[in-house]
């Protein structure tokens, strides 16, 4: 059975160009991601939607809040929880506070070591409150998993006579071994400059893996734990990538601050102070490394989804080979 060593990666995009590009390197296993969160002992859909509302609130209150959501926001609206908390309508503010406390506050503290308001609003806006019964995690028209896995996709991408692959080689070392005029660097932005202006913060992850026997190890491919236990979420890879025997593998995910000497950087930390430091590094890049193009989640220091990382790569290519 296929697992994702670095946590669940579900490919999803709205972009025809990105989808068509990747279709050159893979076929897809059709897959629609659905997530449940454990809230007050129940499993409810995330993003929080009208189903989650009915599951958690007494019936009359749920109906009243649903009417308010439809009236003030409209069917299909997707509103960040931090905005719902500030809504002019008192009932919607109440709902915003409820969703914040039960789904976002604890999860965000575990994931980032920060409260939601301390981070850029775009972080929690990734998972808005949804005014519909659509329980898909991503609304994008294209979603799926590479049929033969991401490793095979990457291997096909790299299989080109002009590409030479050097593994287990640091960026500095490679830059000395190869003659180059333009360089595309996808490592961590601060690492390129030996963290001269200070270390940019990253979050890292630790996984606990367990094999389980039975039909389904948990009620959805991904379960989030906003207010219970130490893990942020667990993923049943059998439900994600498919399985052919009675066993499945579940990964429990724990977040931690990244110590660059020992940990893998997973997430840039979107907040004002780190944006300013990243900007200072970008300024340094313009002065000291004009022939280097910085691109990717770590080198741009941006919380890209996979499709955004691909779009960025295509944009760099267009710039170099118009």
Residues that bind ligand UDP (CB under 6 A): 37, 46, 103-104, 107-108, 111, 123-124, 126-127, 224, 226
Numbers of helices and strands, H then E, in the chain: 13, 14
Longest pairwise C-alpha distance within the chain: 70
**Nearest residue to ligand UDP, by Cβ distance, number only:** 107
User: Whole-number minimum distance, CB 247 to ligand UDP, in Å?
Assistant: 25
User: Whole-number minimum distance, CB 164 to ligand UDP, in Å?
Assistant: 32
Phi-psi region of 223 (alpha: psi -120 to 50; beta: other; left: phi over 0): beta
User: Whole-number minimum distance, CB 222 to ligand UDP, in Å?
Assistant: 9
Phi-psi region of 229 (alpha: psi -120 to 50; beta: other; left: phi over 0): left
Q: Which candidate, 76, 93, 296, places its Cα nearest to that of 186?
A: 296
Cβ atoms of residues 180 and 292 within 8 Å: no
Residue with Cβ nearer ligand UDP (18 or 127): 127
User: Whole-number minimum distance, CB 170 to ligand UDP, in Å?
Assistant: 27
User: Whole-number minimum distance, CB 43 to ligand UDP, in Å?
Assistant: 12
User: Whole-number minimum distance, CB 206 to ligand UDP, in Å?
Assistant: 14
The three-state secondary structure class of 129 is: strand
Residue with Cβ nearer ligand UDP (123 or 189): 123
Write down the H helix ranges in the chain: 16-23, 50-56, 59-72, 81-84, 90-99, 106-112, 121-125, 150-158, 171-177, 189-192, 237-241, 272-288, 306-320
Q: Which candidate, 320, 270, 261, places its Cα nearest to that of 297?
A: 270
Residue with Cβ nearer ligand UDP (3 or 127): 127
Residue with Cβ nearer ligand UDP (87 or 110): 110
User: Whole-number minimum distance, CB 232 to ligand UDP, in Å?
Assistant: 8
Q: How far apart, in whole angstroms, are the C-alpha atoms of residue 227 and residue 55?
A: 17
Residue with Cβ nearer ligand UDP (103 or 295): 103
């Amino acid at each position: 059975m296929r697992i994702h060593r670095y946590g669940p990666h579900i490919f999803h995009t709205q972009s025809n160009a990105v989808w068509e590009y990747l279709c050159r390197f893979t076929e897809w296993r059709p897959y629609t991601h659905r997530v449940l969160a454990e809230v007050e002992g129940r499993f409810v859909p995330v993003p929080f939607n009208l189903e989650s509302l009915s599951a958690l609130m007494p019936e009359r209150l749920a109906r009243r809040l649903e009417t308010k959501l439809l009236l003030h926001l409209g069917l299909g609206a997707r509103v960040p929880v931090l905005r719902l908390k500030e809504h002019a309508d008192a009932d919607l503010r109440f709902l915003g506070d409820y969703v914040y406390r039960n789904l976002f506050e604890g999860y965000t503290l575990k994931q980032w070591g920060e409260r939601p308001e301390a981070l850029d609003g775009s972080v929690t806006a990734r998972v808005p409150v949804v005014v519909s019964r659509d329980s898909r995690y991503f609304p994008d028209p294209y979603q799926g998993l590479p049929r033969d896995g991401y490793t095979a996709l990457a291997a096909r991408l790299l299989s080109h006579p002009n590409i030479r692959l050097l593994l287990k080689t640091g960026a500095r070392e490679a830059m000395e071994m190869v003659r180059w005029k333009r360089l595309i660097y996808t490592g961590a932005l601060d690492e390129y400059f030996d963290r001269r202006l200070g270390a940019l913060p990253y979050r890292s992850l630790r996984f606990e893996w367990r094999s389980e026997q039975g039909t389904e190890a948990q009620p959805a491919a991904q379960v989030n734990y906003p207010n219970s236990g130490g893990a942020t979420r667990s993923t049943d890879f059998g439900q994600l990538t498919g399985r052919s025997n009675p066993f499945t593998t579940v990964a429990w995910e724990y977040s931690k601050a990244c110590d660059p000497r020992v940990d893998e950087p997973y997430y840039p930390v979107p907040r004002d102070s780190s944006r300013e430091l990243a900007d200072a590094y970008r300024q340094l890049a313009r002065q000291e490394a004009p022939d280097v193009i910085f691109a990717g989640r770590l080198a741009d220091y941006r919380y890209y989804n996979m499709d955004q990382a691909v779009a960025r790569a295509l944009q760099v290519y267009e710039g170099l080979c118009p």
